[in-house]
Structure 1
Amino acid sequence: MYYSARVVGVCLTLSLAACGGSGSAPTERDDPVFEDGESQRERNARGTTIGAAARARRNQESIVQVNRYIWSASLQVLDFLPVQSVDPFTGVIVTGFGTPPGGGRAYRATVLISDPALDARSLNVALQTRNGPASTATVRAIEDAILTRARQLRVADNRL
């Protein structure tokens, strides 16, 4: 019994060793070279860190670039509303209900900044009251105030 188990073990070892291929090292022409001049063999020898893998994953995801002037102006114009969540990577600002100074009606806003350009098409504001959506004129006034403030911030930054 012991003898047959040993024979089976040796046979398995030999059969696995035969699967290894020719055993010859790859030649230089078989080893691809990347744009940064590093070969595949060098990349494999270096290994991958968790940080490098995370950076590679982040570069593959689509991230919306947000205009920083519109972003800052949105937060400044809507500063009377409590901020519930912000995501600068997707360009979304969500606020809770708040009453503007000198006003009697509470509003809630969701702002989407979808483009890096300082342009009206880059800004979408959804404004809601406790009774339903706000009027189109009110939404337009908020969008105009945000865009005006964004232009003021850009001029103040001396980047015309």
Structure 2
Amino acid sequence: MTPRSQPTGSLPSVFRFAPFAALLLLGACGGSRDPSSLAAPRNHLMGVDRSATGGDDQLQGGVNAYLWRGALDTLSFMPFASADAVGGVILTDWYQPPASTDERFKIAAYILDRRLRSDALRVSVFRQVRQGGEWVDTAPANNTVSDITTRILSRARQLRADNGHSDN
């Protein structure tokens, strides 16, 4: 797979977890950025308008607004390559953890449904390592996708609860 190709879901199954654990910890820290200060510009740039919500938890176009916002919040430490609120697709650009000069990550998140359910979210993680001056595709740790998916779902549920809805 080349860095620009679409995800195929055929990633090998055995990988290291430590580098990605550091990536998740860095994302959880968030540095000195105030997430609330990022909400309006990010929403404006991606075409998300608060008036576009249909019902309690759906964006116009059929994706769950809490899953969408949860994915944006969870992945906000990475640069976004594109985000389509109507189609429910978030693609990050390559992210290189500050502590590592020889690996980088890219994530694709797909919101597939209007309901806040685990099967309404699909996450693909891509990892490359530098070998001989070239970036080579390699797979992330086995639990990387499930860890990111869990974080997105947790954030979406938190947003829903904060908005006065019970989690059924």
Do the structures match in fold with TM over 0.5?
A: yes
Give the corresponding residue for 1:135.
Answer: 141
More helix by share: 1
CA deviation after TM superposition for structure 1 residue 92, in Å = 0.6
Asked whether the equivalents of residues 64 and 115 of structure 1 are also in contact (C-alpha less than 8 Å), the reply is no
Distance in 1, matches of 2:144 and 2:111, equals 18
Structure showing greater radius of gyration is: 1
Instruction: State how far apart, in whole Å, the 2-side matches of 1:123 and 1:134 are.
Output: 19
Deviations 1:36-57 (A, max 9, x none): xxxxxxxxxxxxxxxxxxxxxx
1:68 corresponds to 2:65:
yes
What RMSD, in angstroms, separates the aligned Cα atoms of the two structures?
Answer: 2.0
Aligned to 2:30: none
Structure 1 residues 158, 101: CA separation in 2 closer, same or farther (over 3 Å shift)? Answer: farther
Matched-pair contact (CA < 8 Å) for 1:84–1:96: yes
SS at match of 1:72: helix
Give the TM-score normalised by structure 2.
Answer: 0.53
Distance in 2 separating the partners of 1:117 and 1:85: 23
Task: Return the TM-score normalized by structure 1.
Answer: 0.56
Of Structure 1 and Structure 2, which has the larger fraction of its residues in strand?
A: 2
- The gaps in structure 1 that reach 5 residues or longer are 1-62
Q: Per-residue deviation at 1:64?
A: 5.0
Could you tell me which runs of 5 or more consecutive residues in structure 2 were left unpaired when the two chains were aligned. 1-59, 129-136
Higher relative contact order by CA 8 Å / sep ≥ 6: 1 or 2? Answer: 2
d(CA) in 1 for partners of 2:84 and 2:151? Answer: 21
Q: 1:102 to 1:151 in 2, by over 3 A?
A: farther
Query: In structure 1, which of residues 61, 64, 77 is the aligned counterpart of residue 74 of structure 2?
Result: 77
Matching of residue 152 in structure 1 with residue 158 in structure 2: yes
Q: Which residue of 1 is the match for residue 120 of structure 2? A: 122
Listed one character per residue, the Cα deviations across residues 114-147 of structure 1 (whole Å, up to 9, x for unaligned) are 0011100000000001133323301110000000
1:69 is displaced (CA, Å) by 0.7
Matching of residues 1-160 of structure 1 within 5 Å? 65-99=62-96, 105-130=103-128, 131-160=137-166
**Deviation (angstroms), 1:100:** 5.1
Matched residue, 1:13: none
Cα distance change of structure 1 residues 100 and 122 upon mapping to structure 2, 3 Å threshold: farther
SS at match of 2:152: helix
Aligned partner of residue 108 in structure 2, secondary structure? strand
User: Take 1:103 and 1:149, find their aligned partners in 2: how far apart are those partners?
Assistant: 27
Q: CA deviation at 1:149?
A: 0.7
